[in-house]
Amino acid sequence: MPIQFTVTEQFSVVKEKVFDGLTDLDGARDWMKGLVRIEKIKGEKVETGAVWRETRKMFGKEATEEFEVTSVIQNKEIRLRVDGTKGSSKKGEYLFQYLLTEKNGGTAVTLNGEIAGLKGFSALFGKLFAGMFKKACRKDLRTLKQYLESNK
């Protein structure tokens, strides 16, 4: 059974600016903690069908995962899929949906995450695994928020 989680962060900037920040692969190095590199495989920007490998330093080691954009609605929604078998985790499927809505003069970003296909030890400790993902996703959104709000 898939494990689901949700993270929401309120930004004080317009949703167009948040969308641009979320979709700027080249600019990610300016705000994404632990980012080592992004290798574009298909496409130059975040649009449906684009694929890239993202390498981050985690727990003292480099970890690489391959991201695929499954859907984009300009300034409203981004859907990503990670096939864990193609990356460092070697297991699972990870789905991420970013929803941007205008709220309180700024933008609310809701990230819905789903982790599926875990087996054995990973499935047994899936809830803990989801908690770590949720914490990392919240940290990324907060770091992006700080970056965008300081560069108004």
pLDDT of residue 115: 86
Q: Taking the complete model, does pTM exceed 0.85, yes or no?
A: yes
pLDDT of residue 87: 87
User: Strand 77-83 to strand 61-73: parallel, antiparallel, or no bridges (unpaired)?
Assistant: antiparallel
- Taking only the tens place, the pLDDT of each residue in 103-131 is 999 999 999 999 888 766 565 566 666 77
- Taking only the tens place, the pLDDT of each residue in 38-87 is 999 999 899 999 999 999 998 788 999 999 999 999 999 999 999 988 98
pLDDT of residue 125: 63
Distance of CA 8 to the CA centre of its chain: 13
pLDDT of residue 59: 75
d(CA 119, CA 12): 40
pLDDT of residue 49: 97
**CATH homologous superfamily for the domain 3-32+72-150:** START domain (3.30.530.20)
pLDDT of residue 89: 79
- Taking only the tens place, the pLDDT of each residue in 89-105 is 787 889 999 999 999 99
Residues 127, 3: contact at Cβ < 8 Å?
yes
